[in-house]
Amino acid sequence: MGCEGVARFWREIPQRYNFIGNKCGSCKRIFFPPRESCPYCRRKSMGNMKEIKLNGKGEIVTYTIIHVSSEDFEDQVPYPIAIVKLDEGPQITAQIVDCNIDDVKIGMKVESTFRKIRQDGSTGAIYYGYKFKKVNKQ
């Protein structure tokens, strides 16, 4: 990833660090990642999309264990990737960390944790963002 990649990642910092999505002012649907306009209301939603901070909590809808990954994640295999349905509704794909692979279950409650996502080799930028871990009862 060159400068192009750095710029794209930088633009996505609000969503990657702080779960900033948006909400259609017309139908009230919530989107994450945020969208330019609402696909349901189209023109009616133009200029009517409001930023909203999601709480970063949700539930595993389904998951898979990655055994063969892209080069960036080779040293982490095997690791679980899940589709997480956020409390506010949107579904996202994310890595599940801090648990044994066998403990990952559909329906498991998860919360976000701030992690290193990727780095451009040993000299490039480091990209941070969310992953998910099991909600620990205290």
**Does residue number 1 form part of the binding site for other proteins (CB under 8 A)?**
no
Distances in whole angstroms, Cα of residue 74 to Cα of each of 32, 33, 47? 27, 26, 42
**Does residue number 4 form part of the binding site for other proteins (CB under 8 A)?**
no
**Does residue number 24 form part of the binding site for Zn ion (CB under 5 A)?**
yes
Which residue in 47, 48, 54, 49 sits closest to 16, CA to CA? 54
**Does residue number 126 form part of the binding site for other proteins (CB under 8 A)?**
yes
Q: Is 130 left (phi over 0), alpha (psi -120 to 50) or beta?
A: beta
For the CB of residue 23, give the shortest distance to Zn ion in the complex, in Å: 9
The option from other proteins, Zn ion, none interacting with 114 (CB < 5 to 8 A, set by class) reads other proteins
**Does residue number 82 form part of the binding site for Zn ion (CB under 5 A)?**
no
